[in-house]
Chains A and B, each alone.
Chain A
Amino acid sequence: MKLKHVLTVFKKEVKDLIRDRRTIMSSILLPMILIPLLNIVMGGGIQKFEKDINENVSIALSQTSDTPEINGLVTERILAKNGNIVLVDADDPSKALENDEIRCILDFEDGYVQKLKDGKPVTITLQYDESKTKSRTAADIVSSAIDEFESEIVRERLAAKGIDLDIMNPFEIQLQNVAPNQKGNNMMLEMMLPLMISMLVAVGGIPAATDLVAGEKEHNTFEPLLTTMPDRGSLLLGKYFAVTLFSFVSVAAILAGLVFGYLLNPNSLTMGVDSQVYGYEIDPLAAVLALIITIALGMTFSGIQIALSTIAKSYKEAQTYLSFLMLGSMVPAYATMFMQASDLSPVMFTLPILNTIAAFKMILGGNIIYSNLFIALVASVVFVALTLWFAASIFKKEKVLFRS
């Protein structure tokens, strides 16, 4: 194997790929624009949805409760302090709930005035539709409003009996955040960033890998290449590094897109769900290790991608194999999506893909255990070696190379 040959193949492949509009579109331009756009649109959608859920809680009284007294009681005592709840008139409240015109129906039991006077419990039935998020959330909001009203009545009753109101509060709970400053409340980032990094690294090299071996076979350029002086190891490595480079160019394009999206709308990075991303202080050593682990993951995927592209007889067949690989990489990414840094087990740092996800979650979580990071690093290097060996053995197999 000669470095000169590796470099010759690498330079040619990069030049060739740069000129391929399809690769540039799918590896660079599309993710660069699409991902931040998706985040902004999704973030905007989520924010709008949250706002709508909390701010436009329309309720109606049941037909039996729709009296001026109850109307007045609800408006003055329950809704007065909850401007987000609106009492609307509905001729047929059940139909209105079904048609999403209102979110809940309030029903007061008969004789509620007397029962209130007598200090007996009054049953208020809150009808809502469990299958609808907005109705379900509205039921919680209205319940809280009724709870407040209930506390008010209890306070009035106690005051009338001359009892100190403190009897109602045997405990006073004070919440104190002990998390260090750098551990912001960026759960969304902890969820999304490792998932995105691992998946993007997995898919970034696919267009290049497909083109560089299966594409060559399809265009009849592969056999002439095999008759040139370099040995197969040099040809493979040149192609392998080109695929790896493109998987990172793709990730870099997406990250650039995310930064651009963040500059346009800071909430886009966390899809508008969490607090903004700020105050992170990541140790430089941890950042460097995370970067190396990510590069190693990219190289691992490149090895598998090149091997699958070599096995494929045609471009289409390679795309099919590689789409399976993409789906396979999604399993660990999504399985650990809701896992937080505190949930990570040491075994995760030894498993492919999971080790990269775990390393990122741990770093973003703030409690960095360096021994685990080093385990992840060593595991990554082993995976790179294994997949490269696999690719090399496939690339040398005559049965695979000359399949027809």
Chain B
Amino acid sequence: MRPAGAKVTQQAEARRGIRAIPRRALLTYRTRHVLWAFAFLAPAFVLFFFIVVYPLGWALALSLQDWSFFGAKRFIGLGNYVRLWNDPLFWKSLGISFKWTIGVVPAILMISLPLALFLNAGWLRLKSLYRTGYFVPVVTNIVAVAFVWRWMFDPDFGVINWFLGVLGLPKPGWLADPAWALYAMMVVGVWKQIGQAMVLFLAGLQTIPQEFVDAAKIDGASPWKLFWKITLPLLNPTLLFVVVILVINAFRVFTIPYVMSAGGLQARTPGGPLDSTRVFVLHIYDIGFRQFQLGYASANAFVLMALIIVVTLIQIKLIQRPFEY
């Protein structure tokens, strides 16, 4: 692409020469071209530096220091990383985040993929109605719906336990019970993201050439076979992309556990009861902005970054086309 671009530029220069526009002193066309490029790039570059590069370097420096915001900073090398390795709460919260990921991601896939397949079918009517219905949670403020779900999960007055009671089932304490709280929140996580995955799958399904499907149908393939032999293999890149997005979202989940566990109805510290919903970002937030151990919090945040890099690299490796989402 670069040679092509350069060639066009040369041609343009040549044409300019022909038109004999007076040469601006010192500034050749080529220089002006580059300067304009930098001008267009300048805002992005400045922001990139101040919002990403500089904070990243600062965070790295912080992660090597012992600093509680109030006292003096002390360089401790990898001390924070050693500390987190030995911190049971680090492992516990990492475990909770993995549990969240393992529960939420497959659940979303298993609901949204069939959903997209059905919504993509030619014979289905009321398509846009269904699509809208399943998509609405995506554009709904998560804090607001977290309240609503919290209230629906209320053990004594909630509609869910009322329903369980009608069916004669035991009523769990949900958010008040360390054994159930995380599952209740995972329901909300799934609910919120189904629409997003569905839309991505629908977009992916639209890229599948109709000829393949038609050919398979002429061969008399059953819908079941069609799905496994044609649709799924061709949908693989989309599937992978969706999985990566969902996994990264799952690693970074914060708002749902925070809102559903903190204050409000529960009058508790976020991540409760008894740290049973202390997902990893909540752990980082707690260390950084409640205990003010900014160095240690930064070290924890770098673990999160490492996890995200690993997932992204796996994706790149599998797709073999860097960054082409």
Q: Does B bind A? A: no
Q: Which residues of B contact A (CB under 8 A)?
A: none
- Report A's interface with B, CB cutoff 8 A: none
